[in-house]
Structure 1
Protein backbone atom coordinates (compact mmCIF):
# COMPACT_ATOMS: atom_id res chain seq x y z
CA UNK A 1 0.00 0.00 0.00
CA UNK A 2 1.44 3.38 -0.95
CA UNK A 3 1.90 6.16 1.62
CA UNK A 4 -0.98 8.06 0.03
CA UNK A 5 -3.29 5.04 0.21
CA UNK A 6 -2.24 4.45 3.81
CA UNK A 7 -3.68 7.85 4.76
CA UNK A 8 -7.39 7.85 5.49
CA UNK A 9 -7.64 11.65 5.62
CA UNK A 10 -5.49 14.22 3.86
CA UNK A 11 -5.61 18.02 4.00
CA UNK A 12 -3.61 19.78 1.28
CA UNK A 13 -2.92 23.52 1.37
CA UNK A 14 -6.14 24.25 3.29
CA UNK A 15 -6.98 27.91 3.91
CA UNK A 16 -10.06 28.77 5.95
CA UNK A 17 -11.58 32.21 6.43
CA UNK A 18 -14.23 32.95 9.06
CA UNK A 19 -15.78 36.24 8.08
CA UNK A 20 -12.92 38.70 7.69
CA UNK A 21 -10.50 36.49 9.59
CA UNK A 22 -7.98 34.26 7.83
CA UNK A 23 -7.56 31.38 10.32
CA UNK A 24 -5.89 28.51 8.45
CA UNK A 25 -2.91 29.41 6.27
CA UNK A 26 -2.24 26.37 4.10
CA UNK A 27 -2.68 23.36 6.39
CA UNK A 28 -1.06 20.14 5.20
CA UNK A 29 -2.04 17.16 7.33
CA UNK A 30 -2.20 13.39 6.74
CA UNK A 31 -3.99 11.01 9.10
CA UNK A 32 -2.75 7.40 8.75
CA UNK A 33 -5.31 4.59 8.81
CA UNK A 34 -5.72 2.72 12.07
CA UNK A 35 -3.59 5.14 14.09
CA UNK A 36 -4.30 7.78 16.71
CA UNK A 37 -3.04 11.17 15.61
CA UNK A 38 -2.70 13.97 18.16
CA UNK A 39 -3.16 17.54 16.96
CA UNK A 40 -1.36 19.81 19.41
CA UNK A 41 -0.62 23.52 19.60
CA UNK A 42 -1.01 26.62 21.67
CA UNK A 43 -4.44 28.24 22.11
CA UNK A 44 -5.49 29.98 18.91
CA UNK A 45 -3.19 27.90 16.70
CA UNK A 46 -6.08 26.77 14.49
CA UNK A 47 -6.74 23.25 15.82
CA UNK A 48 -10.51 23.50 16.28
CA UNK A 49 -10.86 25.37 12.98
CA UNK A 50 -9.05 22.47 11.29
CA UNK A 51 -11.53 19.97 12.74
CA UNK A 52 -14.52 22.11 11.80
CA UNK A 53 -13.15 22.50 8.26
CA UNK A 54 -12.76 18.72 7.93
CA UNK A 55 -16.40 18.32 9.00
CA UNK A 56 -17.71 20.99 6.61
CA UNK A 57 -18.95 23.21 9.43
CA UNK A 58 -16.67 25.83 7.90
CA UNK A 59 -15.61 25.45 4.30
CA UNK A 60 -12.06 25.76 3.08
CA UNK A 61 -11.57 28.87 0.96
CA UNK A 62 -8.81 27.06 -0.93
CA UNK A 63 -6.98 23.76 -0.77
CA UNK A 64 -8.57 20.32 -0.48
CA UNK A 65 -9.73 17.71 2.04
CA UNK A 66 -9.73 14.08 0.92
CA UNK A 67 -11.24 11.18 2.89
CA UNK A 68 -10.42 7.69 1.68
CA UNK A 69 -9.26 9.23 -1.63
CA UNK A 70 -12.60 11.07 -2.07
CA UNK A 71 -12.64 14.86 -2.30
CA UNK A 72 -14.96 16.03 0.50
CA UNK A 73 -13.88 19.70 0.50
CA UNK A 74 -17.22 21.05 -0.72
CA UNK A 75 -19.53 18.54 0.96
CA UNK A 76 -21.99 19.61 3.64
CA UNK A 77 -21.67 18.31 7.19
CA UNK A 78 -24.46 15.66 7.00
CA UNK A 79 -22.87 14.22 3.85
CA UNK A 80 -19.47 14.05 5.57
CA UNK A 81 -20.96 12.40 8.66
CA UNK A 82 -22.66 9.93 6.31
CA UNK A 83 -19.23 8.71 5.19
CA UNK A 84 -18.84 7.07 8.61
CA UNK A 85 -17.03 9.97 10.28
CA UNK A 86 -17.98 10.90 13.84
CA UNK A 87 -17.14 14.27 15.43
CA UNK A 88 -17.22 15.18 19.12
CA UNK A 89 -16.98 18.98 19.39
CA UNK A 90 -15.39 20.77 22.33
CA UNK A 91 -18.84 21.73 23.67
CA UNK A 92 -19.91 18.04 23.37
CA UNK A 93 -23.22 18.85 21.61
CA UNK A 94 -25.34 16.92 24.12
CA UNK A 95 -29.13 17.28 23.83
CA UNK A 96 -29.84 18.24 27.43
CA UNK A 97 -33.61 17.67 27.38
CA UNK A 98 -33.32 14.16 25.94
CA UNK A 99 -32.41 11.11 27.98
CA UNK A 100 -29.04 9.41 27.63
CA UNK A 101 -30.81 6.63 25.72
CA UNK A 102 -32.43 9.13 23.31
CA UNK A 103 -29.07 10.84 22.72
CA UNK A 104 -27.55 7.47 21.83
CA UNK A 105 -30.46 6.50 19.60
CA UNK A 106 -30.16 9.73 17.60
CA UNK A 107 -26.59 8.77 16.69
CA UNK A 108 -27.46 5.16 15.82
CA UNK A 109 -28.47 5.67 12.22
CA UNK A 110 -29.25 1.98 11.67
CA UNK A 111 -31.74 1.90 14.57
CA UNK A 112 -35.22 3.40 14.71
CA UNK A 113 -35.90 2.25 18.30
CA UNK A 114 -33.65 1.66 21.30
CA UNK A 115 -34.14 -2.10 21.00
CA UNK A 116 -32.78 -1.93 17.44
CA UNK A 117 -29.36 -0.77 18.66
CA UNK A 118 -26.58 -3.36 18.53
CA UNK A 119 -26.71 -4.85 22.04
CA UNK A 120 -23.22 -6.35 21.87
CA UNK A 121 -21.77 -2.97 20.98
CA UNK A 122 -23.86 -1.24 23.67
CA UNK A 123 -22.54 -3.62 26.31
CA UNK A 124 -19.00 -2.86 25.15
CA UNK A 125 -19.71 0.88 25.41
CA UNK A 126 -21.19 0.38 28.90
CA UNK A 127 -17.96 -1.39 29.91
CA UNK A 128 -15.99 1.65 28.70
CA UNK A 129 -18.35 4.22 30.20
CA UNK A 130 -20.43 2.74 33.07
CA UNK A 131 -22.14 6.11 33.66
CA UNK A 132 -23.88 5.80 30.28
CA UNK A 133 -25.62 2.64 31.45
CA UNK A 134 -26.23 3.95 34.98
CA UNK A 135 -28.01 7.08 33.74
CA UNK A 136 -29.61 5.47 30.65
CA UNK A 137 -33.09 6.87 31.36
CA UNK A 138 -32.00 10.18 32.92
CA UNK A 139 -32.07 13.57 31.14
CA UNK A 140 -28.59 14.12 29.71
CA UNK A 141 -28.61 17.71 31.00
CA UNK A 142 -28.50 16.37 34.57
CA UNK A 143 -25.15 14.62 34.05
CA UNK A 144 -21.88 16.00 35.40
CA UNK A 145 -19.33 17.44 32.98
CA UNK A 146 -17.32 14.23 32.96
CA UNK A 147 -20.41 12.11 32.41
CA UNK A 148 -21.48 14.34 29.50
CA UNK A 149 -18.06 13.91 27.93
CA UNK A 150 -18.39 10.13 28.29
CA UNK A 151 -21.84 10.30 26.68
CA UNK A 152 -20.50 12.45 23.83
CA UNK A 153 -17.81 9.90 22.99
CA UNK A 154 -20.18 6.94 23.54
CA UNK A 155 -22.68 8.52 21.17
CA UNK A 156 -19.97 8.96 18.52
CA UNK A 157 -19.07 5.26 18.65
CA UNK A 158 -22.57 3.77 19.06
CA UNK A 159 -21.96 2.33 15.59
CA UNK A 160 -18.50 1.45 14.22
CA UNK A 161 -16.91 4.53 12.67
CA UNK A 162 -14.08 4.66 10.18
CA UNK A 163 -12.82 7.97 11.56
CA UNK A 164 -13.40 9.49 14.99
CA UNK A 165 -12.56 13.17 15.49
CA UNK A 166 -12.59 14.51 19.06
CA UNK A 167 -11.88 18.05 20.26
CA UNK A 168 -10.23 18.20 23.70
CA UNK A 169 -11.78 15.13 25.35
CA UNK A 170 -9.97 15.66 28.67
CA UNK A 171 -10.82 19.35 29.11
CA UNK A 172 -12.03 20.07 32.64
CA UNK A 173 -12.15 16.40 33.65
CA UNK A 174 -10.99 14.92 36.93
CA UNK A 175 -7.87 12.69 36.72
CA UNK A 176 -9.87 9.49 37.35
CA UNK A 177 -12.21 10.28 34.44
CA UNK A 178 -9.23 11.20 32.24
CA UNK A 179 -7.77 7.75 32.93
CA UNK A 180 -11.13 6.19 32.03
CA UNK A 181 -11.15 8.18 28.77
CA UNK A 182 -7.59 7.09 27.94
CA UNK A 183 -8.56 3.45 28.46
CA UNK A 184 -11.57 3.89 26.17
CA UNK A 185 -9.50 5.43 23.35
CA UNK A 186 -6.87 2.70 23.77
CA UNK A 187 -9.59 0.07 23.28
CA UNK A 188 -10.94 1.94 20.26
CA UNK A 189 -7.45 1.92 18.74
CA UNK A 190 -7.38 -1.87 19.08
CA UNK A 191 -10.54 -2.11 16.95
CA UNK A 192 -8.69 -0.39 14.08
CA UNK A 193 -10.62 2.88 14.33
CA UNK A 194 -8.66 5.83 12.98
CA UNK A 195 -8.71 8.65 15.55
CA UNK A 196 -7.81 12.34 15.36
CA UNK A 197 -7.66 14.08 18.75
CA UNK A 198 -7.09 17.72 19.61
CA UNK A 199 -5.70 17.81 23.13
CA UNK A 200 -4.07 20.28 25.53
CA UNK A 201 -3.31 17.67 28.21
CA UNK A 202 0.17 16.59 27.17
CA UNK A 203 0.34 13.54 29.45
CA UNK A 204 -2.94 12.38 27.85
CA UNK A 205 -1.38 12.87 24.41
CA UNK A 206 1.81 11.08 25.38
CA UNK A 207 -0.05 7.99 26.62
CA UNK A 208 -2.22 7.59 23.52
CA UNK A 209 -0.68 9.16 20.46
CA UNK A 210 0.96 7.28 17.62
CA UNK A 211 1.55 10.28 15.38
CA UNK A 212 1.57 13.95 16.38
CA UNK A 213 1.06 17.10 14.35
CA UNK A 214 1.76 20.48 15.95
CA UNK A 215 0.03 23.65 14.73
CA UNK A 216 1.07 27.26 15.09
CA UNK A 217 -0.43 30.35 13.47
CA UNK A 218 -2.80 28.36 11.26
CA UNK A 219 -0.20 25.96 9.87
CA UNK A 220 1.14 22.52 10.71
CA UNK A 221 4.73 23.19 11.78
CA UNK A 222 5.80 19.72 12.90
CA UNK A 223 4.81 16.12 12.13
CA UNK A 224 6.39 13.08 13.71
CA UNK A 225 5.87 10.26 16.17
CA UNK A 226 4.43 11.05 19.59
CA UNK A 227 7.35 9.22 21.17
CA UNK A 228 9.86 11.44 19.37
CA UNK A 229 8.20 14.58 20.73
CA UNK A 230 7.81 13.10 24.23
CA UNK A 231 11.52 12.23 24.35
CA UNK A 232 12.77 15.60 23.09
CA UNK A 233 12.41 18.40 25.65
CA UNK A 234 14.05 20.96 23.39
CA UNK A 235 11.52 20.21 20.64
CA UNK A 236 8.65 20.50 23.14
CA UNK A 237 9.86 23.94 24.24
CA UNK A 238 10.33 25.09 20.65
CA UNK A 239 6.92 23.90 19.45
CA UNK A 240 4.71 24.21 22.51
CA UNK A 241 6.59 26.31 25.04
CA UNK A 242 6.34 23.54 27.65
CA UNK A 243 7.82 20.29 28.79
CA UNK A 244 5.99 16.97 28.76
Structure 2
Protein backbone atom coordinates (compact mmCIF):
# COMPACT_ATOMS: atom_id res chain seq x y z
CA UNK A 1 0.00 0.00 0.00
CA UNK A 2 1.38 3.42 -0.97
CA UNK A 3 2.08 6.15 1.55
CA UNK A 4 -0.13 9.23 1.32
CA UNK A 5 1.87 11.33 3.80
CA UNK A 6 5.56 11.08 4.63
CA UNK A 7 7.75 12.97 7.08
CA UNK A 8 11.53 12.71 6.75
CA UNK A 9 13.94 14.24 9.25
CA UNK A 10 11.47 16.93 10.35
CA UNK A 11 12.70 19.45 12.91
CA UNK A 12 10.48 22.18 14.33
CA UNK A 13 11.56 25.14 16.45
CA UNK A 14 9.05 27.28 18.34
CA UNK A 15 10.85 30.41 19.40
CA UNK A 16 13.97 29.33 21.25
CA UNK A 17 12.64 25.82 21.79
CA UNK A 18 13.63 22.87 19.61
CA UNK A 19 10.51 20.64 19.76
CA UNK A 20 10.83 18.08 16.96
CA UNK A 21 14.20 16.39 16.43
CA UNK A 22 14.17 14.59 13.09
CA UNK A 23 10.70 13.03 12.95
CA UNK A 24 10.41 10.18 10.44
CA UNK A 25 7.25 8.22 9.68
CA UNK A 26 4.74 7.56 6.91
CA UNK A 27 0.94 7.33 6.78
CA UNK A 28 -0.28 4.59 4.39
CA UNK A 29 -3.24 5.53 2.19
CA UNK A 30 -6.60 4.19 3.34
CA UNK A 31 -5.40 3.27 6.84
CA UNK A 32 -5.64 4.65 10.36
CA UNK A 33 -2.18 5.50 11.68
CA UNK A 34 -1.92 6.09 15.42
CA UNK A 35 0.57 8.65 16.72
CA UNK A 36 1.20 7.71 20.34
CA UNK A 37 3.50 8.86 23.13
CA UNK A 38 3.64 10.35 26.58
CA UNK A 39 2.47 13.92 27.24
CA UNK A 40 4.91 16.41 25.78
CA UNK A 41 6.41 13.93 23.31
CA UNK A 42 5.71 16.23 20.33
CA UNK A 43 2.54 14.70 18.87
CA UNK A 44 0.49 17.90 18.63
CA UNK A 45 3.51 19.81 17.31
CA UNK A 46 3.81 17.18 14.59
CA UNK A 47 0.20 17.66 13.49
CA UNK A 48 0.53 21.44 13.54
CA UNK A 49 3.75 21.23 11.53
CA UNK A 50 2.06 19.07 8.90
CA UNK A 51 -0.69 21.68 8.58
CA UNK A 52 1.79 24.53 8.25
CA UNK A 53 0.71 26.20 11.50
CA UNK A 54 4.35 25.87 12.58
CA UNK A 55 7.14 25.73 10.03
CA UNK A 56 9.51 22.81 9.80
CA UNK A 57 13.05 24.18 10.08
CA UNK A 58 14.62 21.07 8.60
CA UNK A 59 13.51 17.95 6.74
CA UNK A 60 10.59 17.38 4.38
CA UNK A 61 6.86 16.70 4.49
CA UNK A 62 5.24 15.30 1.36
CA UNK A 63 1.58 14.63 0.63
CA UNK A 64 0.90 12.27 -2.26
CA UNK A 65 4.40 13.01 -3.50
CA UNK A 66 3.98 16.81 -3.34
CA UNK A 67 6.25 18.73 -0.90
CA UNK A 68 4.11 20.68 1.55
CA UNK A 69 6.57 21.59 4.30
CA UNK A 70 10.19 22.00 5.29
CA UNK A 71 13.18 23.46 3.44
CA UNK A 72 12.94 20.60 0.93
CA UNK A 73 9.76 22.20 -0.40
CA UNK A 74 11.87 25.13 -1.67
CA UNK A 75 11.71 28.83 -0.90
CA UNK A 76 8.93 29.58 -3.39
CA UNK A 77 6.75 26.76 -2.13
CA UNK A 78 7.32 27.78 1.48
CA UNK A 79 6.30 31.30 0.66
CA UNK A 80 2.97 30.14 -0.77
CA UNK A 81 2.22 26.99 1.20
CA UNK A 82 0.24 27.95 4.28
CA UNK A 83 -2.56 26.18 6.09
CA UNK A 84 -5.29 27.21 3.57
CA UNK A 85 -3.22 25.84 0.68
CA UNK A 86 -2.57 22.58 2.52
CA UNK A 87 -6.29 22.26 3.27
CA UNK A 88 -7.01 22.73 -0.44
CA UNK A 89 -5.09 19.52 -1.10
CA UNK A 90 -7.75 17.61 0.83
CA UNK A 91 -6.24 17.60 4.33
CA UNK A 92 -8.43 18.47 7.33
CA UNK A 93 -7.29 19.07 10.92
CA UNK A 94 -9.36 18.55 14.07
CA UNK A 95 -7.38 20.18 16.90
CA UNK A 96 -7.49 19.06 20.51
CA UNK A 97 -9.54 22.13 21.49
CA UNK A 98 -11.97 21.32 18.62
CA UNK A 99 -11.98 24.93 17.41
CA UNK A 100 -15.74 25.27 17.06
CA UNK A 101 -17.45 28.67 17.04
CA UNK A 102 -19.56 28.64 20.19
CA UNK A 103 -21.82 31.57 19.23
CA UNK A 104 -22.70 30.11 15.84
CA UNK A 105 -25.25 27.36 15.30
CA UNK A 106 -24.29 23.83 14.36
CA UNK A 107 -25.43 24.52 10.80
CA UNK A 108 -23.37 27.73 10.60
CA UNK A 109 -20.29 25.90 11.86
CA UNK A 110 -20.76 23.32 9.14
CA UNK A 111 -21.20 25.99 6.47
CA UNK A 112 -17.93 27.68 7.42
CA UNK A 113 -16.09 24.43 6.72
CA UNK A 114 -17.74 23.84 3.34
CA UNK A 115 -15.82 25.46 0.51
CA UNK A 116 -18.45 24.60 -2.09
CA UNK A 117 -21.50 26.19 -0.43
CA UNK A 118 -22.46 29.82 0.10
CA UNK A 119 -25.46 29.13 2.32
CA UNK A 120 -26.71 26.34 4.56
CA UNK A 121 -29.22 25.46 1.85
CA UNK A 122 -26.31 24.92 -0.51
CA UNK A 123 -24.70 22.18 1.59
CA UNK A 124 -24.57 18.74 -0.03
CA UNK A 125 -27.79 17.14 1.25
CA UNK A 126 -26.71 13.57 0.63
CA UNK A 127 -23.42 14.08 2.44
CA UNK A 128 -25.19 15.78 5.35
CA UNK A 129 -27.52 12.82 5.72
CA UNK A 130 -24.50 10.52 5.75
CA UNK A 131 -22.92 12.67 8.48
CA UNK A 132 -26.18 12.65 10.46
CA UNK A 133 -26.04 8.86 10.27
CA UNK A 134 -22.65 9.02 11.96
CA UNK A 135 -23.62 11.71 14.46
CA UNK A 136 -27.44 11.82 14.93
CA UNK A 137 -27.20 14.49 17.65
CA UNK A 138 -26.05 17.05 15.08
CA UNK A 139 -29.32 16.73 13.19
CA UNK A 140 -31.29 17.13 16.42
CA UNK A 141 -29.35 20.27 17.42
CA UNK A 142 -28.88 21.65 13.90
CA UNK A 143 -30.15 25.13 14.82
CA UNK A 144 -28.70 25.25 18.35
CA UNK A 145 -25.68 27.40 19.25
CA UNK A 146 -22.66 25.11 19.22
CA UNK A 147 -21.58 26.41 22.62
CA UNK A 148 -24.60 24.74 24.21
CA UNK A 149 -23.64 21.26 23.04
CA UNK A 150 -22.16 18.70 25.40
CA UNK A 151 -18.46 17.90 25.19
CA UNK A 152 -19.13 14.78 23.16
CA UNK A 153 -21.46 16.61 20.80
CA UNK A 154 -18.85 19.34 20.28
CA UNK A 155 -16.31 16.70 19.34
CA UNK A 156 -18.80 15.18 16.90
CA UNK A 157 -19.31 18.63 15.37
CA UNK A 158 -15.56 19.19 15.08
CA UNK A 159 -15.13 15.93 13.16
CA UNK A 160 -18.28 16.55 11.09
CA UNK A 161 -16.93 19.93 9.98
CA UNK A 162 -13.72 18.24 8.87
CA UNK A 163 -15.66 15.83 6.65
CA UNK A 164 -18.48 18.09 5.44
CA UNK A 165 -16.71 17.75 2.10
CA UNK A 166 -14.69 14.68 1.09
CA UNK A 167 -11.14 14.78 2.45
CA UNK A 168 -8.21 12.58 1.57
CA UNK A 169 -6.50 12.86 4.96
CA UNK A 170 -7.79 13.68 8.45
CA UNK A 171 -5.48 14.75 11.26
CA UNK A 172 -7.31 14.33 14.57
CA UNK A 173 -5.82 15.29 17.94
CA UNK A 174 -7.11 13.36 20.98
CA UNK A 175 -10.82 13.18 20.07
CA UNK A 176 -11.78 11.06 23.10
CA UNK A 177 -10.25 13.36 25.72
CA UNK A 178 -12.69 13.92 28.60
CA UNK A 179 -15.54 11.98 26.97
CA UNK A 180 -17.73 9.31 28.53
CA UNK A 181 -17.08 5.70 27.42
CA UNK A 182 -20.37 5.49 25.50
CA UNK A 183 -19.47 8.58 23.47
CA UNK A 184 -16.01 7.15 22.80
CA UNK A 185 -17.63 4.02 21.37
CA UNK A 186 -19.74 6.23 19.08
CA UNK A 187 -16.58 7.98 17.89
CA UNK A 188 -14.87 4.65 17.22
CA UNK A 189 -17.84 3.51 15.13
CA UNK A 190 -17.87 6.79 13.18
CA UNK A 191 -14.12 6.68 12.48
CA UNK A 192 -14.42 3.07 11.33
CA UNK A 193 -17.12 4.18 8.90
CA UNK A 194 -14.84 6.95 7.65
CA UNK A 195 -12.03 4.45 7.15
CA UNK A 196 -14.39 2.28 5.07
CA UNK A 197 -14.74 5.19 2.63
CA UNK A 198 -10.96 5.08 1.98
CA UNK A 199 -10.35 8.20 4.07
CA UNK A 200 -6.83 8.14 5.50
CA UNK A 201 -6.56 9.12 9.17
CA UNK A 202 -3.63 10.17 11.36
CA UNK A 203 -4.90 10.01 14.93
CA UNK A 204 -3.27 11.22 18.15
CA UNK A 205 -4.91 9.47 21.07
CA UNK A 206 -4.28 8.76 24.76
CA UNK A 207 -7.17 6.29 25.03
CA UNK A 208 -5.33 3.09 24.24
CA UNK A 209 -8.47 0.99 23.92
CA UNK A 210 -9.51 3.37 21.13
CA UNK A 211 -6.04 3.16 19.59
CA UNK A 212 -6.20 -0.62 19.61
CA UNK A 213 -9.69 -0.68 18.12
CA UNK A 214 -8.89 1.68 15.24
CA UNK A 215 -5.20 1.58 14.47
CA UNK A 216 -3.61 -0.22 11.54
CA UNK A 217 -0.11 1.17 11.95
CA UNK A 218 1.51 3.13 14.75
CA UNK A 219 4.33 5.57 15.34
CA UNK A 220 5.40 6.18 18.94
CA UNK A 221 7.08 9.46 19.85
CA UNK A 222 9.33 10.39 22.75
CA UNK A 223 11.12 13.68 23.29
CA UNK A 224 10.41 14.97 19.79
CA UNK A 225 11.51 11.81 17.99
CA UNK A 226 9.80 8.72 16.59
CA UNK A 227 11.18 5.81 18.61
CA UNK A 228 9.03 3.02 17.20
CA UNK A 229 7.14 2.30 13.99
CA UNK A 230 5.12 -0.81 13.21
CA UNK A 231 1.69 -2.37 13.22
CA UNK A 232 -0.82 -1.46 15.92
CA UNK A 233 -1.63 -5.15 16.37
CA UNK A 234 2.03 -5.89 17.12
CA UNK A 235 2.22 -3.17 19.77
CA UNK A 236 -1.14 -4.18 21.26
CA UNK A 237 0.07 -7.75 21.66
CA UNK A 238 3.40 -6.96 23.33
CA UNK A 239 3.03 -5.70 26.90
CA UNK A 240 6.79 -5.43 27.42
CA UNK A 241 7.04 -3.15 24.39
CA UNK A 242 4.13 -1.06 25.65
CA UNK A 243 5.80 -0.62 29.02
CA UNK A 244 9.10 0.35 27.41
CA UNK A 245 7.62 2.83 24.93
CA UNK A 246 4.63 4.22 26.79
CA UNK A 247 5.18 3.38 30.44
CA UNK A 248 1.92 1.45 30.72
CA UNK A 249 0.14 -1.62 29.48
CA UNK A 250 -2.76 -1.60 27.03
CA UNK A 251 -4.23 -4.48 29.02
CA UNK A 252 -5.40 -2.07 31.73
CA UNK A 253 -7.29 0.00 29.14
CA UNK A 254 -9.68 -2.66 27.85
Per the normalisation by structure 1, the TM-score is: 0.97
- Equivalent in the alignment of 1:106: 112
| Whole-angstrom distance in 1 between the partners of 2:139 and 2:17 | 43
Aligned residues: 240
Q: Does 1:54 align with 2:50?
A: yes
Q: 1:22 aligns with which of 18, 23, 29?
A: 18
Cα deviation, 1:82-139, whole Å, max 9, x if unaligned, reads 1111000000000111100000011111111112111111111111111111110011
Q: Does 1:32 align with 2:28?
A: yes
Three-state SS of the structure 2 residue aligned to 1:9 is strand
- Equivalent in the alignment of 1:9: 5
- Equivalent in the alignment of 2:147: 141
| Whole-angstrom distance in 2 between the partners of 1:115 and 1:214 | 43
| Whole-angstrom distance in 2 between the partners of 1:30 and 1:116 | 36
Three-state SS of the structure 1 residue aligned to 2:219 is strand
| Whole-angstrom distance in 2 between the partners of 1:64 and 1:223 | 18
Three-state SS of the structure 2 residue aligned to 1:153 is helix
5+ residue gaps, structure 2: 70-77
Report the alpha carbon displacement of residue 227 of structure 1 after superposing the two structures with TM.
0.4
Q: Does 1:169 align with 2:175?
A: yes
| Whole-angstrom distance in 1 between the partners of 2:127 and 2:240 | 43
- Equivalent in the alignment of 2:233: 227
| Whole-angstrom distance in 1 between the partners of 2:68 and 2:232 | 28
| Whole-angstrom distance in 1 between the partners of 2:216 and 2:125 | 31
Q: Does 1:212 align with 2:218?
A: yes
| Whole-angstrom distance in 2 between the partners of 1:112 and 1:213 | 39
Report the alpha carbon displacement of residue 144 of structure 1 after superposing the two structures with TM.
1.1
Q: 1:93 aligns with which of 94, 99, 106?
A: 99
Cα deviation, 1:179-231, whole Å, max 9, x if unaligned, reads 00000000000000000000000000000000010000100110111000000
